[in-house]
């Protein structure tokens, strides 16, 4: 059997806020609340992966990296600019406005209010 990642929990100060934020930036869909008392807000990334945002006390941010095609990269970058979300080309400087990623032709990092670090990488 091939092993694939089905879902992962993303810690959040406010699961609805952080799920909506990421879904908006990436152009994804938030699904209806799931789990006991709706304590997860799922964001469908693709047919095989869902991010489950969960409000937790004292969350520690995680790093999630996404490979995207050039058109998707352009749309994400446009949304970040439109929303006024800082981004940058280094994980230690996710607000320098650069897209000159060290590992790919174009890439960027941005964070949410919780401190989760998102990385978007494009082959051109």
- In this predicted model, what pLDDT tens digit does every residue of 56-112 receive, in sequence order? 999 999 999 999 999 999 999 999 999 999 999 999 999 999 999 989 999 999 999
- Predicted confidence at residue 75, as pLDDT, reads 98
Share of the chain above pLDDT 70, in %: 100
Task: List, in order, residues 6 or more apart from 50 with CB less than 8 Å away.
Answer: 6, 7, 31, 42, 43, 44
Rg (CA), the chain: 14
> In residues, how long is the chain?
124
């Amino acid at each position: 059997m091939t092993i694939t990642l089905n879902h992962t929990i993303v810690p959040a100060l406010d699961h609805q806020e952080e799920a909506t934020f990421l879904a908006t930036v990436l152009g994804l869909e938030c699904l209806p609340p799931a789990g006991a008392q709706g304590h997860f807000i799922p964001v469908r990334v693709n047919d095989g992966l869902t991010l489950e945002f969960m409000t937790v006390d004292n969350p520690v941010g995680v790093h999630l990296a996404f490979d995207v095609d050039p058109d998707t990269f352009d749309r994400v970058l446009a949304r970040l600019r439109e929303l006024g979300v800082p981004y940058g080309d280094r994980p230690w400087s996710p607000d320098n406005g650069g897209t000159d990623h060290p590992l790919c032709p174009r890439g960027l990092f941005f964070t949410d209010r919780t401190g989760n670090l998102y990385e978007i990488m494009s082959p051109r």
